[in-house]
Structure 1
Amino acid sequence: MRGTKVFRSAAGETTRWLRQRPLLVPRPGKTWYLSAVALAVLATGAGTQIAVAQITALPADAAFRIHDTMLTEQQLTDRVRALEALYGVRRPDDPAAVDRFNRDSAKAVAVSEILDSAAEEEGVVIPEKAAQDELEKLLTQTYPAGRGDFIARLGQVGLSEPEVLAEIRRQLTNATLFDQVTRDIPPVTDADVQQAYDTRRDEMAEPEKRHVRNIVVASEVEARNAVDRLKAGEDFGAVARSVSLDGSTKDKGGDLGTAVRQQLDPGYGDEAFRAAANSVFGPVETQHGWNVGQILEVTPAVPLSLEQVRDPLRQKLEGERRLGRWNGWLGEKIRAAEVEYAPRYRPADPDAPPGDVPR
């Protein structure tokens, strides 16, 4: 089920690998997800820095500069391609979405460069075997057809396996840094858990679940054709078997199984959880294509007792404390880096701290 086109994969979005780590338990009914790319946060600073940037303008082919280190557009593209090969991220077609994708990608890679320098300062070294083991795990999860499928994907995007290993090693380094920076946070007490439960009682529920079927095709026109066929009375499963590109669900009539909102691609999930039971929704564009969905069954949310949520709530509170410590530490690193972006790559909020944990 997690291999389906609308489920968020191990690094769905450009850098889910960079942004998500199973430390925070999503609050039922809330979306704990990451916008397009990862780790966010850059600092281009205020007036003085802007004046200096005008004097020392970036070269025409530059994406950004950190002190005396410059990353070109081609180098940025190569880094993003590695993430595409690892996680199957598809660049959007909509011009506005492309602009946001480029800015988010530059921000993620700039923060990654900052973390590389921090890791060197802290003496963090990832053994080659650890990176190899992580690659094998990723191949098992993301490329069920085997290594040949992975190698073919690398050829399509013009990457080599060593380049992918370098990206994996970088993410493992980030995770190690996170653990080092956050290892001495104060423990979460029983009183902390009780207070959090009382404060967030309306969120303490088994989230609503929906049994979903899905068809994924390559274009909006094909998706609308599928909708027309369904409105004309054709069986959803039959249409899915005839046109869907999702090999993991096509033979099952597009059946995704039961999912909570947080398991789905954000845009697709919004539509799926607005739709009525037994209805068809879409087309909805995701990273992997155009989707038409059907809701087979709705299971309402169920309130949970303190005993039922005590352990996951404790983990969530611990995660929030660790994330707060990490944000403060990384924010200082970013401000000190004085990142200069080419205007077309400058993120919308370069000074914002990262919202999620590096994996």
Structure 2
Amino acid sequence: MKARIGHIVGTCIAWVRGQPIAPAGRPARVAGVVLLAVLVVGSGTAVTMDRIAALPAGAVFRVGDTVVTEAQLGDRITLLGALYGVQRPTDPAKLEQFRRDSAKAVAVSEVLSDAAAARGIVIADKTANDELTRLVETSYPQGRDAFLARLGGIGLSQPAVLDEIKRQLANAQLYDQVTKDTPAPTDQDLAQLYQQRRAEMAVPEKRHLRNIVVASQDQANQIRAQLAAGADFAAVAGQSSLDDSTKTKGGDMGAVARDQLEKPYGDAAFGAGPNALFGPVQTQYGWNVGQVLEVTPAVPLSLDQVRDQLRASTWQQRKLDTWNRWVVEQLTSARVRYADAYRPADPTGAPS
């Protein structure tokens, strides 16, 4: 559940620059709670989301005395697009689902904000402003003025971003309050979990690979045939591969674990024996022909080696379970009322 609040502004910075950057900022308990809150509501939970015909014209939903309009939802989607990468789909067939999912995401955000306020959680303007300043200084070398100017160019204001930072900080405190009494796993719990998951408790198998990527399957078949006939892999990679990061190294990718690779490529690479060729296999980058140079088997880990990590992950899962149940209770009590055009198809599930 731990995440970086810095990722929020970091993503925003990347968005206004038009290129990705690494997340920045100090750890926080909860980031992206607007999205998190709807992700943690499991399908099959009895949450009441009532329809009501008496909503004002142009309304999307009502939570208590708060009515969110279509215009307000549109503004929020713009903000979420900058801060979280949420984008309207270009496929007309997906627009209705996006509209309903967005309405639910914002509704859950309102419910959590109300819950935080009811518990007396208030984030001071200075706290949010200091956090924004620190994050911008960390991630945007041009400075705060330049950052805010770029925000204005995409229709976002400093107050809107500060409000989102306040929302994140408030929900971080809310999460801490809700989960503070969740019991930590005992040593006996960890021993039992270790036995249950022993097969997973290992440094994964790695394979030293080299690869050639080309534009078409026909070309990949030709290269596979050349290599099978004895052509030098490194020479062919240097001449033909489209992967600039490896072609100068003879296609050498180094040692990689299976989960570091696209699934079709990983399946092929980890299904081949030492020194064997594999492919052609298609990935997002093109058609690939690879070779396994060396196999490093998985190494089992002892309970002592994984104890701290297992304790942390298990405790965090328990806290998440506590949070899930509490969120459901809040949604049930709030009785969010949607206009029919915005009511989620599956109100108890997680929107996209």
CA distance in 2, matches of 1:167, 1:83: 9
Q: Higher RCO, 1 or 2 (CA under 8 Å, sep at least 6)?
A: 1
TM-fit CA distance, 1:306? 1.1
Q: Which amino acid aligns with 1:121?
A: A
CA distance in 2, matches of 1:149, 1:212: 44
Select the residue among 175, 178, 190 that pairs with 1:178: 175
TM-fit CA distance, 1:148? 6.5
User: Structure 2: which 5+ runs fail to align?
Assistant: 1-9, 25-29, 224-235, 271-277
CA distance in 2, matches of 1:204, 1:189: 18
Contact 1:9-1:87 within 8 A present in 2 as well: no
Contact 2:140-2:147 within 8 A present in 1 as well: yes
Aligned to 1:345, the other structure's residue is in SS state: coil
Contact 1:40-1:104 within 8 A present in 2 as well: no
Contact 1:209-1:261 within 8 A present in 2 as well: yes
Alpha-carbon displacement from aligned partner over 1:197-242 (angstroms, at most 9, x marks no partner): 11222332335678999xxxxxxxxxx979999889896998567x
In structure 2, the CA distance between the partners of 1:96 and 1:353, relative to structure 1 (3 Å rule), is: closer
TM-fit CA distance, 1:63? 2.4
Contact 2:37-2:108 within 8 A present in 1 as well: no
Alpha-carbon displacement from aligned partner over 1:115-141 (angstroms, at most 9, x marks no partner): 111111100011333323433454467
In structure 2, the CA distance between the partners of 1:303 and 1:159, relative to structure 1 (3 Å rule), is: same
TM-fit CA distance, 1:70? 1.5
Between 1:86-95 and 1:334-343, the stretch displaced more is 86-95
Structure 1 segment 222-301 matched on structure 2, within 5 A: 239=242, 270=263, 273-274=266-267, 276=269, 284=284
Q: Which amino acid aligns with 2:311?
A: R
Aligned partner of 1:107 in structure 2 is 104
Contact 2:40-2:324 within 8 A present in 1 as well: no
Contact 2:262-2:283 within 8 A present in 1 as well: no
Aligned partner of 2:63 in structure 1 is 66
Pick the structure with greater CA Rg.
Answer: 2
Aligned partner of 1:336 in structure 2 is 333
CA distance in 2, matches of 1:319, 1:182: 9
In structure 2, the CA distance between the partners of 1:227 and 1:157, relative to structure 1 (3 Å rule), is: farther
Q: TM-score, normalised by structure 1?
A: 0.64
Q: Which amino acid aligns with 2:269?
A: A
Aligned partner of 2:226 in structure 1 is none
Aligned partner of 2:54 in structure 1 is 56
CA distance in 2, matches of 1:333, 1:77: 25
Aligned to 2:313, the other structure's residue is in SS state: helix
Aligned to 1:126, the other structure's residue is in SS state: coil
CA distance in 2, matches of 1:256, 1:19: 37
CA distance in 2, matches of 1:153, 1:226: 40
Select the residue among 200, 205, 208 that pairs with 1:203: 200
Aligned partner of 2:32 in structure 1 is 18
Give the fraction of aligned pairs with identical amino acids, expressed as a percent: 45
CA distance in 2, matches of 1:296, 1:333: 54
Select the residue among 43, 48, 52 that pairs with 1:45: 48
In structure 2, the CA distance between the partners of 1:271 and 1:57, relative to structure 1 (3 Å rule), is: farther
Aligned to 2:67, the other structure's residue is in SS state: strand
TM-fit CA distance, 1:113? 0.3
Contact 1:38-1:108 within 8 A present in 2 as well: no
CA distance in 1, matches of 2:255, 2:145: 31
Q: CA RMSD in A?
A: 5.0
Between 1:140-149 and 1:197-206, the stretch displaced more is 140-149
CA distance in 1, matches of 2:204, 2:161: 36
TM-fit CA distance, 1:304? 2.3
Aligned partner of 2:274 in structure 1 is none
In structure 2, the CA distance between the partners of 1:157 and 1:347, relative to structure 1 (3 Å rule), is: farther
Q: Are 1:163 and 2:160 counterparts?
A: yes
Contact 2:113-2:167 within 8 A present in 1 as well: yes
TM-fit CA distance, 1:194? 0.7
CA distance in 2, matches of 1:261, 1:19: 31
Q: How many equivalent residue pairs?
A: 304
Contact 1:204-1:309 within 8 A present in 2 as well: yes
In structure 2, the CA distance between the partners of 1:170 and 1:94, relative to structure 1 (3 Å rule), is: same
Q: Which amino acid aligns with 1:191?
A: Q
Aligned to 1:184, the other structure's residue is in SS state: coil
CA distance in 2, matches of 1:97, 1:300: 44
Aligned partner of 2:230 in structure 1 is none
CA distance in 2, matches of 1:6, 1:279: 32
CA distance in 2, matches of 1:293, 1:128: 53
TM-fit CA distance, 1:325? 1.4
Alpha-carbon displacement from aligned partner over 1:8-47 (angstroms, at most 9, x marks no partner): 9759xxxx94259xxxxxxxxxxxxx8997555798627x
CA distance in 1, matches of 2:68, 2:110: 10
Structure 1 segment 339-350 matched on structure 2, within 5 A: 339-350=336-347
